[in-house]
Structure 1
């Protein structure tokens, strides 16, 4: 039995064609639900990454349903590791399941590192992405951020120099989004990770109108 105040994700299976991906989800009463996209398989890691854990904990603690998953071929997910279109298909399947489970008409999407490529492709394809959060994005051109058409939040560590801060900031301003810079933190947020969670929870509350 889950006691009041406890955080307990439940294991789930996400169907993708004839295969299934492993995932975990947490119930909540607020909208929008949050989908967390893991790093690309060629980066290593998956849904158990500490950043993913922080994002779902913060969102669930604020009352929002969450789902995180492993791409096919990662962890216990079936299939072979894919690229580009295959990764987008994985994210599509996970978002579809999250929205069906919650009855939501839109979902917020968060990603980190190279998973930002997948999240941006998902947002460009689906109007049902009602908000996009990129944490320590990597391997993207800063100008693509200016084309995001939903509420956008980018979270970067102060010491993360992988993307030029000035160009990222200018693109976010053009998109009407927000940039949150975490003091004394690098791309892995070994310091001040809870600040990332607080920023994302506050962003979700703004999306919900709370």
Structure 2
């Protein structure tokens, strides 16, 4: 897990990057929870998703947004953090110009930032959103959502209540060519303290299914 420092819009940003040994490997960018509530790239769920993509053969990065860890700058209410995510993606794409696919995975606040980035980068082919804060942020910008993905909610989550996430999923699933794989872990709260393995299993199941389906479609063409 080599440490990397790359240029962000408000100073240098700190990340951890794994480069796949596979030629033209797919890319994954993993985004951490809210920086004002202790969210960093070393968050347990963020780290688990990072390792999961690594295990599946991806080139993958997790990074600290502005003002977190050794990353320069100051928290910017989400707007600057979206620009940080775009800078991280730019860095990965420069290192991997022929990547076969691109996934974004975010947890909590990171899920909100990731979905904002999704709308700005048409090359994204899949996404993972764990406990997106649908009751606190307006996700109406996902209209239309460019592709389907995996959304995970905790049944005992008070910070990202499942009913609000369910409502968002239902809205996305009405859109043409969008299918959200929605999974609820009934005993999970916002920390997912005992559900990290379940998150990883769901991620690997969803990503492998989508990638296999895409490979079959390309072969058919």
SS of aligned partner of 2:131: strand
Q: Cα RMSD over matched residues?
A: 2.2
Alignment match of 1:13 (pick from 5, 11, 21):
5
- Stretches of structure 1 lacking an aligned partner (at least 5 in a row): 1-8
Question: In structure 2, what is the equivalent of residue 177 of structure 1?
Answer: 180
- Stretches of structure 2 lacking an aligned partner (at least 5 in a row): 216-221
Partners of 1:172 and 1:178 within 8 A in 2: no
Residue 121 in structure 1 maps to residue 119 in structure 2: no
Alignment match of 1:107 (pick from 70, 82, 102):
102
TM score, norm. by length of structure 1: 0.86
SS of aligned partner of 1:147: coil
Q: CA deviation at 1:166?
A: 3.9
Instruction: Describe the shift of the 1:101–1:112 C-alpha distance in structure 2 as closer, same or farther (beyond 3 A).
Output: same
Question: In structure 2, what is the equivalent of residue 22 of structure 1?
Answer: 14
Flag as ranges the 4+ runs of structure 1 deviating above 6 A: none
TM score, norm. by length of structure 2: 0.82
In structure 1, what is the Cα distance between the partners aligned to 2:7 and 2:130?
A: 26
Partners of 1:21 and 1:78 within 8 A in 2: yes
SS of aligned partner of 1:206: helix
Instruction: Map Cα deviations across residues 37-56 of structure 1 (whole Å, 9 max, x no partner).
Output: 11232332210100111101
Question: In structure 2, what is the equivalent of residue 203 of structure 1?
Answer: 206
SS of aligned partner of 2:193: coil
Alignment match of 1:149 (pick from 143, 146, 150):
146
Matched residues, number: 202
Q: CA deviation at 1:144?
A: 5.2
In structure 1, what is the Cα distance between the partners aligned to 2:129 and 2:8?
A: 24
